[in-house]
């Protein structure tokens, strides 16, 4: 196989070759990014005003806020923990709409507020991240869909409200704990009321899902009745909307450590999404990665020109960075041709002891390092491989020259 002169041969891939190699991965990445952006936009629209007492959106809570005000309950909206704690007194109900967003330091601060100030605390959707601190006698169980459920308990507020739309978090109350367990599924309640004790700190209500507070569901079943009774038992209501932008999330603990680190502020859904993306990337890498192993000879269904076969082999070697294999093939072909030109048996063409003496007799004045060219080490890069091909071609022409 002859090679082009080194000065006119380029091994750098063209833009078309690069695009052909990466277009599959680029398409998958573009689809993932597009889907993520679309999902984030939809969730942002849906959750931006969720449980906000000023919002008239379907998932807002302006309707229940107006009903509470009409019954003489004053409402203080707090978006940071310091605002919420500053507004508390002994005649106040504290509503926390997303307790799982609170960091450990914030939960500890809120716990002290529950013990010293709040008459009642309503925790919406509290799960494993917050129950250990805010309701230590209760643990979370696998969630369930929101649907119509009956009270099945002795809590007066639940009995008066009747059936409501509840679901979400379910709870397991520790044995020996005094509690009202209502609206259950498989004997696990979605609403738990813990009366004030030294352990609970305040009259604490765990609400598995926020649906009874939504504008879109308030007029259904006994949702409004239950919401008014839970939130309107005191003359003052502090409506706390936890936020990831709350500066108190980075407050220092007494030992000087900052508890609100970056990962603590990331919702668990994003962490799981990142893990799934990493797994998908790994699988794509395995799919697109080079498969090592010997070439497999297959019968061709059609006749191909020798030049096309040679070019195809060269491209395969180049794609696999198989410079050693390519150099071995080039040298073997040249040794075979030289052996026939020098009268050396073909079986001895690859023996330095038989081929090199015959070549020295034919070319006594050659300046090339014949042994290195024909039997030397593998090239270290593509440029060296091209130079080797040029040397082999030149050596063959020199032997052929009379």
Which range has highest mean pLDDT (31-45, 330-344, 354-368)? 330-344
Number of domains within the chain: 3
Examine the domain organization and report whether 35 and 107 are in the same domain.
no
Token pair listed for 312 = 């195809």
Within 10 angstroms of residue 48's Cβ, the number of other Cβ atoms is 12
**Residue 94: burial class (beta carbons within 10 Å; 0-12, 13-18, 19+):** buried
Please determine, for residue 151, whether its predicted confidence score (pLDDT) is greater than 50.
Answer: yes
pLDDT tens, residue by residue, 31-40: 887 877 776 6
Give the per-residue pLDDT at 264: 56
Examine the domain organization and report whether 198 and 331 are in the same domain.
no
Please determine, for residue 180, whether its predicted confidence score (pLDDT) is greater than 80.
Answer: yes
Examine the domain organization and report whether 206 and 227 are in the same domain.
yes
Examine the domain organization and report whether 31 and 114 are in the same domain.
no
Residue pair 162/183 in contact (Cβ under 8 Å)? The answer is no
Residue pair 38/47 in contact (Cβ under 8 Å)? The answer is no
Please determine, for residue 125, whether its predicted confidence score (pLDDT) is greater than 50.
Answer: yes
Give the per-residue pLDDT at 160: 92
- Could you tell me if residue 385 is inside a domain? yes
pLDDT category of residue 260 using cuts at 50, 70 and 90: very low
Please determine, for residue 53, whether its predicted confidence score (pLDDT) is greater than 80.
Answer: yes
* 3-class SS of residue 300: coil
Higher local confidence (pLDDT), 267 or 340 = 340
Separation of alpha carbons 220 and 226, rounded Å: 11
Mean pLDDT of the chain: 80
pLDDT tens, residue by residue, 181-193: 899 888 899 999 9
**325: containing domain:** 306-400
Record the pTM.
Answer: 0.54
**Residue 294: burial class (beta carbons within 10 Å; 0-12, 13-18, 19+):** exposed
Examine the domain organization and report whether 180 and 207 are in the same domain.
yes
Examine the domain organization and report whether 202 and 93 are in the same domain.
yes
Please determine, for residue 134, whether its predicted confidence score (pLDDT) is greater than 50.
Answer: yes
Higher local confidence (pLDDT), 175 or 199 = 175
Range of weakest confidence among 46-55, 154-163, 254-263 = 254-263
CATH number, domain of 164, equals 3.40.50
Examine the domain organization and report whether 180 and 203 are in the same domain.
yes
* 3-class SS of residue 334: helix
Please determine, for residue 400, whether its predicted confidence score (pLDDT) is greater than 70.
Answer: yes
Higher local confidence (pLDDT), 17 or 340 = 340
Examine the domain organization and report whether 190 and 91 are in the same domain.
yes
pLDDT category of residue 87 using cuts at 50, 70 and 90: confident
Examine the domain organization and report whether 227 and 86 are in the same domain.
yes
Residue pair 263/129 in contact (Cβ under 8 Å)? The answer is no
Examine the domain organization and report whether 118 and 180 are in the same domain.
yes
Higher local confidence (pLDDT), 293 or 25 = 25
Backbone angles phi, psi at 142, to 5 degrees: -50, 135
pLDDT category of residue 67 using cuts at 50, 70 and 90: very high
State the DSSP code for 258.
B
């Amino acid at each position: 196989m002859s090679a082009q002169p080194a000065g006119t041969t380029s091994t750098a891939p063209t833009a078309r070759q690069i695009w052909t190699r990466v277009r599959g991965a680029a398409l998958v990445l573009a689809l993932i990014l597009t889907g993520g952006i679309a999902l984030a936009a939809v969730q942002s629209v849906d959750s931006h005003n969720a449980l906000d007492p000023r919002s008239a959106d379907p998932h807002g809570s302006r309707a229940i806020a107006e009903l509470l005000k009409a019954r003489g309950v004053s409402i203080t909206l707090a978006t940071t923990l310091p605002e919420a704690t500053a507004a508390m007194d002994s005649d106040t109900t504290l509503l926390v709409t997303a307790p799982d967003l609170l960091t450990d330091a914030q939960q500890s601060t809120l716990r002290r507020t529950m013990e010293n100030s709040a008459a009642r605390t309503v925790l919406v959707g509290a799960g494993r991240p917050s129950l250990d601190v805010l309701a230590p006698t209760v643990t979370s169980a696998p969630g369930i869909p929101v649907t119509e459920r009956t009270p099945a308990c002795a809590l007066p507020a639940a009995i008066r409200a009747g059936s409501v739309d509840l679901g979400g978090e379910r709870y397991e109350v520790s044995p020996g704990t005094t509690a009202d367990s209502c609206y259950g599924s498989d004997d696990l309640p979605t609403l738990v009321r813990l009366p004030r004790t030294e352990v609970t700190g305040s009259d604490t209500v765990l609400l598995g899902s926020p649906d009874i507070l939504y504008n879109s569901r308030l007029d259904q079943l006994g949702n409004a009745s239950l919401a008014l009774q839970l939130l309107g038992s005191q003359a003052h209501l502090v409506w706390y909307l936890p936020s990831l932008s709350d500066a108190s999330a980075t407050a220092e603990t007494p030992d000087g450590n900052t508890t609100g680190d970056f990962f603590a502020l990331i919702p668990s859904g994003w962490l799981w999404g990142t893990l799934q993306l990493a797994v998908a990337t790994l699988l794509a890498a395995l799919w697109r990665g080079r498969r090592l192993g010997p070439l497999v000879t297959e019968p061709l269904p059609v006749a191909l020109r020798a030049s096309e076969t040679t070019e195809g082999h060269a491209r395969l070697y180049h794609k696999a960075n198989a410079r050693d294999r390519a150099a071995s093939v080039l040298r073997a072909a040249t040794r075979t041709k030289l052996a026939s030109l020098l009268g050396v048996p073909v079986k001895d063409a690859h023996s330095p002891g038989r081929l090199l003496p015959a070549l020295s007799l034919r070319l006594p004045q050659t300046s090339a390092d014949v042994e290195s060219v024909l039997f030397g080490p593998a090239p270290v890069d593509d440029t060296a491989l091209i130079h080797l091909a040029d040397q082999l071609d030149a050596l063959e022409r020199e032997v052929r020259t009379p």
